Chain A
């Protein structure tokens, strides 16, 4: 019995062996996935456009005044100076508190903690804390820092509250990057007579640093956009000087934006959008730094 062999061209032709349905499904799924991705980008684009459309004129008409003025009853004279300073201070303080504590906790949990019930309890609760709404952190900050520790509605209280809020995410990101460092590196260090701390300090932590920094920056950029906890602990709007000290009262960009959008005058809505552009620009700048760090310094094993 001799089967007629198809010429190779016919056998390689599209659809020769695979069903047409399979090929169709392939096309449907890949275009569906593309649409899904595209919708996300589209939403971001729309958001940026709306903010730009509403606020750019206000920002561009008098940029120096907008950055240099304090708030005012008159929308045309209102500026973001106090809020901008407040946000910058908050960012610094939040990073100062959350980075060492977060990385320290991650190193402990990942490298030193005994595998027991207490450790798993702590681990589970860190994951839970990451899901706690930010306004609840505001209530915690109000109760603990503002009132009990008598810090008042100060920069310090704000920074500590935002730091508490960022900690779980920082710990999770830092643990992930510590875990990505191969065991062989730790073994190599131990085999040379290094102690656990020396192995961590010289090799594991530096190798995990780019990933950790990325996590820290991303959670900081989330923190500086937070409005609710700052309002709860009593961040002000009508502030007419820039802070010199962590005990000073403060304003912050998201709080100011929230305040301006709730005013009746349309000109304040424009000012709010303009402030939104500034805040977005800060966030994008931070995320760019995060991406840069990850791409530039990440170790490829």
Chain B
């Protein structure tokens, strides 16, 4: 589906964004606009391409994802943001007929090496999806499933469930009804349950694929606060359609865009730039980034 980029991004916040100035003053690049420590890279991605059959969805992405930070991935629809983060925990290969080229190192280990078990990769690199997708079971069972199938034997499963729900800022709301169906929760609570479920298997990284796009602003706010809290212990990569969200929560922002092929049929995602979030939003290094964040995509 090829869309005019101008018609994309139907976020609530679009109104606010386009109301702003369309041209930003040049901000001189200074090294201290934001204090973002250069933590060790968790992912080192080099020349990553991803194919659905013959169609190349992303091309030659090279970037680092640093530990204990939130890296936001922004860009117009169809620019391969979701495809990109699904490469990081090998979720993409569940789709038949897909192929990865390039290399992703995770703490120096090639994620796609022959002897790497994708199941183990997915346990260590958790994922939260766009639409809350709790299992049709009790709140408790939703959280306990991951540890169970991974053979984690906590001293007390009850404690692990409680701890995970607490970390996801959900415990107080559900402590009296953990045996109730997860479907009895509101959308925002369900999404926090999905985060708790993810935390319960003790991952190192949490990938979030537009985790707030199905939520109202209040629920979004809670998830954002939660993310900032969680980055103490986890590395977070979040795909978002919402630039305000990226600006609010992330330390670094990667801007992707879609390159349209000569025949105009194929849209291939490319990384335009990755930088500290503040710099991306005040003094982007690339014209395309500036056009996108000022709402003047073109």
Contact with B along A175-197 (1 / 0, CB 8 A): 00000001011011111111100
Indicate whether A207 reaches chain B with its CB closer than 8 angstroms: yes
Indicate whether A202 reaches chain B with its CB closer than 8 angstroms: yes
**B123 / chain A contacts, CB cutoff of 8 Å:** 192-193
Count contacts on B: residues with CB < 8 A to the other chain. 27
A180 to B149, CA, bound (A): 24
State whether A115 and B96 are in contact (beta carbons under 8 Å apart), knowing that A192-B123, A192-B197 are contacts in the complex. Answer: yes
- Asked if B122 contacts A190 (CB within 8 A), the reply is yes
- Asked if B129 contacts A192 (CB within 8 A), the reply is no
State whether A299 and B136 are in contact (beta carbons under 8 Å apart), knowing that A191-B91, A195-B149 are contacts in the complex. Answer: yes
Distance of B122 from chain A, by nearest CB (Å): 5
- Asked if A184 contacts B129 (CB within 8 A), the reply is yes
Indicate whether A203 reaches chain B with its CB closer than 8 angstroms: yes
Distance of B83 from chain A, by nearest CB (Å): 14
A188 to B135, CA, bound (A): 8
A195 to B134, CA, bound (A): 18
- Asked if B131 contacts A191 (CB within 8 A), the reply is no
Indicate whether A119 reaches chain B with its CB closer than 8 angstroms: no
A188 to B126, CA, bound (A): 10
Q: How large is the interface on A (under 10, 10 to 19, 20 to 34, 35 or more residues)?
A: 20 to 34
Indicate whether A198 reaches chain B with its CB closer than 8 angstroms: yes
- Asked if B133 contacts A185 (CB within 8 A), the reply is yes
CB proximity to B under 8 Å, residues A240-299: 299
- Asked if B119 contacts A191 (CB within 8 A), the reply is no
- Asked if B91 contacts A187 (CB within 8 A), the reply is yes
Distance of B39 from chain A, by nearest CB (Å): 24
Distance of B111 from chain A, by nearest CB (Å): 14
Indicate whether B249 reaches chain A with its CB closer than 8 angstroms: no
A184 to B198, CA, bound (A): 15
- Asked if A194 contacts B91 (CB within 8 A), the reply is no
Indicate whether B194 reaches chain A with its CB closer than 8 angstroms: yes
Most chain B Cβ neighbours within 10 Å, of A185, A191, A195, A198? A191
Identify which of B120, B133, B145 contacts A187 (C-beta below 8 A): B133
Contact with A along B84-100 (1 / 0, CB 8 A): 00000101001010000
Indicate whether B127 reaches chain A with its CB closer than 8 angstroms: yes
**A115 / chain B contacts, CB cutoff of 8 Å:** 96
- Asked if A193 contacts B194 (CB within 8 A), the reply is no
**B134 / chain A contacts, CB cutoff of 8 Å:** 188
Indicate whether B254 reaches chain A with its CB closer than 8 angstroms: no
Given A190-B91, A191-B198, A192-B198, 16 more A-B residue pairs with CB atoms under 8 Å apart are: A115-B96, A182-B133, A187-B91, A187-B127, A188-B197, A189-B135, A190-B94, A192-B146, A193-B119, A193-B122, A194-B146, A195-B119, A198-B149, A202-B135, A203-B135, A206-B136
Pick 14 A–B contacts, CB within 8 A, sort by A: A184-B133, A187-B129, A188-B129, A188-B133, A188-B134, A189-B145, A191-B126, A192-B197, A193-B146, A193-B149, A194-B149, A195-B119, A198-B149, A301-B136
Please name the 7 residue pairs, one residue from A and one from B, whose CB atoms are nearest each other, closest first.
Answer: A193-B123, A192-B146, A184-B133, A191-B127, A299-B136, A198-B149, A188-B133
Chain A residues within 8 Å of B, Cβ to Cβ:
115, 182, 184-185, 187-195, 198, 202-203, 206-207, 299-301
